[in-house]
Amino acid sequence: MTIFTDHACMGICLVLARRAGSRGEVPVGAIVVHDGRIIGRGYNLREADGDPTAHAEIVAIRRAAEVIGHWRLLDATLYVTLEPCAMCAGALVNARIGRLVYGCTDPKAGAVDSMFGIPTDRRLNHRLQVVGGVRAGECADELRRFFRARRRRVRASSARRTRLEQRQVRAR
């Protein structure tokens, strides 16, 4: 039984994505829903944890497995704002998650529809139901805003550096 709609669940993921963004992490958020209950929440913690595997999906899946007390998350649905990468898509298959709902596509690294089709690959021993494009515009906006602000910061700091260097040259 699911008491949440896909739209509402993606809204929770968007809140988590914003939390990641406010901490300087690429804004991606994920939740795992089982039996009408959220059993795992996660957002990208790659920078904070210094961990290349700390993607939102992995964080949420780990929490969910702790709650269930088992690695197998059959009948669970994972919601995430961005199309999962190859690592996360592989983790979804390994966790035997029943259904995946994602927001915007990731043309450069997406392993669900864009570059690979891991969750639906018939050569693997488990396949997921996939729904993509839920609140895709809002999910993509979150990422766009983050990268635009980061580019602005980089430009501002390099301009500051240049001014400082010019002053040092003049002082010599």
Q: How far is CA 18 from CA 44, 85, 107, 164, in A?
A: 10, 19, 21, 34
Contact 72, 91 (CB under 8 A): no
- Could you give the CA distance from residue 29 to residue 42 in angstroms, rounded to a whole number? 6
- Report the nearest approach of Zn ion to the CB of residue 53 (Å): 8
Select 34 or 55, whichever has its Cβ closest to Zn ion.
Answer: 55
Select 69 or 121, whichever has its Cβ closest to Zn ion.
Answer: 121
Is there a catalytic annotation at residue 142? no
Report how far Cα 90 is from the mean position of its chain's Cα atoms. 14
Give the other-Cβ count within 10 Å of 46's Cβ. Answer: 17
- Choosing from 16, 34, 40, 55, the residue that interacts with Zn ion (CB under 5 A) is 55
- Could you give the CA distance from residue 124 to residue 116 in angstroms, rounded to a whole number? 13
Task: Give the largest Cα separation in the chain, rounded.
Answer: 73
Is 60 a binding residue for Zn ion by CB under 5 A? The answer is: no
* Residue of closest CB approach to Zn ion: 88
Which residues, numbered 66-85, are part of the site for Zn ion (CB under 5 A)?
85
Select 88 or 118, whichever has its Cβ closest to Zn ion.
Answer: 88
Is 88 a binding residue for Zn ion by CB under 5 A? The answer is: yes
- Report the nearest approach of Zn ion to the CB of residue 91 (Å): 8
Select 105 or 165, whichever has its Cβ closest to Zn ion.
Answer: 105
Contact 40, 22 (CB under 8 A): no
Is 134 a binding residue for Zn ion by CB under 5 A? The answer is: no
Instruction: Give the three-state DSSP class for 110.
Output: coil
Residue in 25, 57, 83, 142 annotated catalytic: 57
The catalytic residue positions are 57
Provide the binding-site residues for Zn ion, judged by CB under 5 A. 55, 85, 87-88
